[in-house]
Amino acid sequence: MLNEFVTADMSKLQSAKAISPIQSRDELEVDYGFSFGRVPVYLFGAKGGDTSKIRLITIACLEFQKKGLAFRSAVVHQDFAVLPKRDCKIVTSAVDKQFTLLEDFREHGPDTIQRLAA
């Protein structure tokens, strides 16, 4: 559902799908990259309760920071409330913005992505 929304409703923001900001680390893939502003915005989608994806998002953002990349990050959760507390903490410390439900992203996502990129 996130893919449908990004490709249809956010098409004017010109996203790229499945990008690897660090060429030598293709396992650190970003679901969507928006490069229309001052800094790119990396958007990740996380299904409810998928702790392995949450940990990969966290690692990716921390590695991007470690490499000194200029970027902003956002995560769209299917349902943030079902994540274990430990995973909530690690992702919250690593990313710039989280949408706790897909519905929240549908309502506020396009404007937030534009603000993050400015």
Give the pLDDT band of residue 9 (cuts 50, 70, 90).
confident
Residue 49 has pLDDT above 90, yes or no: no
Question: Does the pLDDT value for residue 12 go beyond 90?
Answer: no
Q: Give the separation between CA 82 and CA 63, rounded to whole angstroms.
A: 26
pLDDT, tens digit, for every residue of 56-104?
999 999 999 999 999 999 999 999 999 999 999 999 999 999 999 999 9
Measured distance CA(38)–CA(24) in Å, rounded: 24
Q: Can you spell out the DSSP letters for 5-56?
A: IIIIITGGG-EEEEE-SSTT-TTS-EEEEE-SSSS-EEEEEE-TT-HHHHHH
pLDDT of residue 103: 94
Report pLDDT for 55: 97
**Domain segments of the chain as ranges:** 2-20+36-117
- Tens of pLDDT, residue by residue over 23-35, are 999 999 999 999 9
Whether the predicted pLDDT of 52 surpasses 90: yes
